[in-house]
Chain A
């Protein structure tokens, strides 16, 4: 209550500054005059009484200053004075001013971009179907915790597992070229130009455009529960070798290059001179399990068509193809899934023939590859480990992440007697590895990444 009164008194004093000064003046004058009158009544001449009253009172200005201080106003006065002094000094030393402004601008800019990328990678809530049962499945070997599966191995596990449903694969990124779109802003140079806030004359008009294309298995969108913004997303049939080539556009690409024209669904786009049918569009800013929005999504089976490996390399069990995610079926615990995959791995090894099995181990680590299942264990726990990894300056993020709800991000891996922090997000995992290893590196890395990301974001806008 008194706190409130204090605030009110302060505000009143600040707002009605001149009135308070007037009243203070009147009050002190009244005091001195009343005192002088009392002295005069006891026989002192009027002039002399006033003089003595003033002397007895002491410094009027000092008393006033102390009164202002008691109201907490002089603090603001002092602040304004300091501010004025500071501005004067800055005007006097333009060189220093320019340096300081530049340093601040760079600092603020770098921090903003770092946070932007952090927000995009780690904090942006991702709408995912059944996030509590979503798991990552990794190949483990002696010195590798989270290896990628070959496409053929993935197919085998997908078709045989009973503990997991919707096993899907994220199969890497590639750049493809197309010459069909009117080039508003190509993806590379103009991004940087866009970040600078102006556009160079279009140099690439009529030329080819490079686009990022992400490969995913046919059930990838199904697993994440994604809904199309137009048309449809992939179906398992799209991801068969020999299936007609199809592609899904990202909402951002659709918006920026095709003006969100719904009639593009069903039309053909030539990627690396191969005709792909556009079957649908993801929502704007849809990330899936990625850290940045690609231009296109294509089925993994289409990889050979875009010059990313051959049909044989997809069938070769020794060629790593991607990261696998799935849903634990209802009532299945993590160790059960783990045990089942172990059995499947043994079967795969026994059934796939010795030569091929040996072949498949070769490029990996020496020991036997084995699947490991990972999942979100305890959000609170992982957040704490996160705070520890990043140091106090990222606690803000830590606190924020609590309110972000059922967000799809860092979790724990429960592979083979060890618990290690990781994110189901492949890119973010890299981040975490850095964070734990070397703090200074992180700042450099994330700073560089942040600037890149910031440029990208600006260009996208």
Chain B
């Protein structure tokens, strides 16, 4: 870990979980690994906060769960994206991009442009 880990922005964990399970069903620990892998270990995720987020997303119907067998032959709960979750992820991603663009634009403004 050469680069310093960044803390997750408030409210972005849900989106990242949706993205992670959109690539294929995962158990909770797998979600954590997938996010760390994609972010190249630059994101710091509180492991304890992962499960409440998963439960919340399942409660809202964006992900669904079922018990399956893990790689090392143990019982694990796997989460997958539902159709509603897919739509949610799409709108959230769009919203995020718009916001990022906006913030970038504001931060990039120079004195002459005002």
Contact with B along A31-60 (1 / 0, CB 8 A): 101110100000000000000000011111
What is the distance, in angstroms, from A288's C-beta to the closest C-beta of chain B? 59
B48 touches A9 (CB 8 A): no
B77 touches A58 (CB 8 A): no
Is A66 interfacial (CB-CB < 8 Å)? yes
Q: How far is the CA of A34 from the CA of B73 in the complex (A)?
A: 11
Is B96 interfacial (CB-CB < 8 Å)? no
B60 touches A37 (CB 8 A): no
What is the distance, in angstroms, from A383's C-beta to the closest C-beta of chain B? 42
Q: How far is the CA of A30 from the CA of B47 in the complex (A)?
A: 13
Within 8 A of B (CB), among A59-107: 59-60, 62-63, 66-67, 69-72
Candidates A6, A33, A56, A70; contact of B47 at CB < 8 Å: A56
Contact with B along A341-358 (1 / 0, CB 8 A): 000000000000000000
What is the distance, in angstroms, from A138's C-beta to the closest C-beta of chain B? 64
What is the distance, in angstroms, from A22's C-beta to the closest C-beta of chain B? 11
Is A431 interfacial (CB-CB < 8 Å)? no
Q: How far is the CA of A193 from the CA of B27 in the complex (A)?
A: 71
Q: A1-B84, A2-B84, A31-B47 are in contact. Are A71 and B59 (CB under 8 A)?
A: yes
A30 touches B29 (CB 8 A): yes
Is B13 interfacial (CB-CB < 8 Å)? no
Candidates A27, A37, A57, A70; contact of B59 at CB < 8 Å: A70
Within 8 A of B (CB), among A154-206: none
Q: A63-B52, A69-B52 are in contact. Are A30 and B76 (CB under 8 A)?
A: yes
Is B4 interfacial (CB-CB < 8 Å)? no
Candidates B46, B51, B60; contact of A27 at CB < 8 Å: B51
B60 touches A57 (CB 8 A): no
B77 touches A23 (CB 8 A): yes
Residues of A within 8 A of B61 (CB): 1-2, 5-6, 9
Is B74 interfacial (CB-CB < 8 Å)? yes
Is A26 interfacial (CB-CB < 8 Å)? yes
What is the distance, in angstroms, from A314's C-beta to the closest C-beta of chain B? 78
B48 and chain A: residue at smallest CB distance: A58
What is the distance, in angstroms, from B20's C-beta to the closest C-beta of chain A? 15
Chief secondary structure at chain A's binding surface? helix
Q: How large is the interface on B (under 10, 10 to 19, 20 to 34, 35 or more residues)?
A: 20 to 34
Residues of A within 8 A of B53 (CB): 70
Contact with B along A124-168 (1 / 0, CB 8 A): 000000000000000000000000000000000000000000000
B56 and chain A: residue at smallest CB distance: A70
Q: How far is the CA of A31 from the CA of B46 in the complex (A)?
A: 13
Within 8 A of A (CB), among B17-40: 27-29, 32
Is A10 interfacial (CB-CB < 8 Å)? yes
Residues of B within 8 A of A27 (CB): 27-28, 51, 76-77
B48 touches A59 (CB 8 A): yes
Candidates A9, A23, A34; contact of B29 at CB < 8 Å: A34
Q: How far is the CA of A6 from the CA of B82 in the complex (A)?
A: 14
B51 touches A30 (CB 8 A): no
What is the distance, in angstroms, from A167's C-beta to the closest C-beta of chain B? 68
Taking A10-B59, A31-B32, A34-B72 as given, write out 17 further A-B residue pairs in contact, using a Cβ cutoff of 8 Å, ordered by the A residue number: A6-B59, A26-B75, A30-B28, A30-B75, A31-B29, A34-B74, A58-B46, A58-B47, A58-B48, A59-B48, A62-B48, A63-B52, A66-B51, A66-B52, A67-B51, A69-B52, A72-B59
Residues of A whose CB lies within 8 Å of any CB of B are 1-2, 5-6, 9-10, 23-24, 26-28, 30-31, 33-35, 37, 56-60, 62-63, 66-67, 69-72
Residues of B whose CB lies within 8 Å of any CB of A are 27-29, 32, 46-49, 51-53, 55-56, 58-62, 67, 70, 72, 74-77, 84
13 contacts across the A-B interface (CB closer than 8 A): A2-B62, A6-B59, A10-B59, A30-B27, A30-B76, A57-B47, A59-B48, A63-B49, A66-B48, A67-B51, A70-B53, A70-B59, A71-B55
10 shortest interchain CB distances as A-B pairs: A5-B61, A58-B48, A66-B52, A70-B56, A70-B55, A63-B48, A67-B55, A2-B61, A31-B29, A57-B47
